[in-house]
Amino acid sequence: MRSIKLGSSTLEVPVVAVGCMRINSLDKTEAERFVQTALEEGASFFDHADIYGGGTCEEIFADAIHMNADIREKIILQSKCGIRKGMFDFSKEHILESVDGILKRLKTEYLDVLLLHRPDALVEPEEVAEAFDILENSGKVRHFGVSNQKPMQIELLKKYVRQPLVANQLQLSITNANMISNGINVNMENDSAVDRDGSVLDYCRLHDITIQPWSPFQYGFFEGVFLGNDKFPELNQTIDEIAGKYEVSNTTIATAWLLRHPAQMQPVIGTMNLDRLKDCCKASEIHLTREEWYSIYRAAGNILP
């Protein structure tokens, strides 16, 4: 598995992150097989959140990987906090309590990366800074980042937070590519020109923040996958043709499309299917041509001015 630096840190991470949001859909044997397959493929970066399965996903993962000190040093653990029932909460108290719960469920003494999950309208960045300092000084968290945040929200945090924000987890796929499209359709009077995220793609590149695309195969907001979907005939035909050329699956090509972007993104894949997991990991070896990348982009209905 090819690796990249996570943001401005020295942490080397696999280019594909394994999302564990659905690991609670597996039984014990299946979960063990899943994490073992990921490790065999070199996908040693596991993404969690305290709300996934109400915390059970972290517990299931820790049991499935048979967490111990030796195993812990061979993997990279990321989790997220800040979402509560009916609200978002970036208070110092909630962040600290959340991390303690995460560590207990994952059976580890530290997280490699902690992300603040969704923007909290009532955020007091001074409290976030205090929480981050406590977590770093205690050794409970080594690196910090955000999720679903736009540039000015990150800038507000950076005014108070000492630690570099190394990652921003954002929804991005071939069919949900506005952060790319608005940069192509500059000064155009069409929907693709609408900047919905404050040029977050360019911002993250300028500030050495790794974008972690979530739902890389979804269209809409969890409306379904576009691969093999009759709603996207031209896109699937194009992907299938390119997949045939490289003798890989359509899943591999859809993942490779994200990895081809020079922003050095780290897609978070959410599949629990072993074959698709392997297919995603194969994308590390594929480097699409510029012509192939743009043909897939256009086939999804994205326009060039």
Count the Cβ atoms, other than its own, within 10 Å of residue 146.
27
Task: Enumerate the H helices of the chain as residue ranges.
Answer: 28-40, 56-64, 69-72, 92-106, 125-137, 151-160, 178-184, 200-206, 233-246, 250-259, 274-282, 290-299
Strands 218-219 and 224-225: antiparallel
Mean pLDDT of 241-269: 98
pLDDT tens digits for range 188-230: 999 999 999 999 999 999 999 999 999 999 998 888 999 999 9
What is the helix, strand, coil percentage profile of the chain, to 5?
45, 15, 40
Whole-prediction pTM value? 0.96
Please say if the pLDDT value at position 290 is more than 90. yes
**Would 75 be classed as within a structural domain?**
yes
DSSP state of 220: T
| Diameter over CA atoms, the chain | 56
CA dist 246 and 263 (Å) reads: 23
pLDDT tens digits for range 108-158: 999 999 999 999 999 999 999 999 999 999 999 999 999 999 999 999 999
pLDDT tens digits for range 91-117: 999 999 999 999 999 999 999 999 999
What range defines the domain where residue 56 resides?
3-299
φ and ψ at residue 109, rounded to 5 degrees? -95, -10
Mean pLDDT of 177-187: 95
Q: Looking at residue 234, which CATH number applies to its domain? A: 3.20.20.100
**Would 304 be classed as within a structural domain?**
no
pLDDT of amino acid 195: 94
* Structure tokens given for 113: 């990366």
When the pLDDT of each residue in the chain is averaged and rounded to a whole number, the result is 97
- For the chain, what is the domain count? 1
* Structure tokens given for 263: 């922003």
- Helix (H/G/I), strand (E/B), else coil: 89: coil
* Nearest CA among 76, 94, 72 for reference residue 17: 76
Cβ atoms of 94 and 183 closer than 8 Å: no
Please say if the pLDDT value at position 261 is more than 90. yes
**Would 305 be classed as within a structural domain?**
no
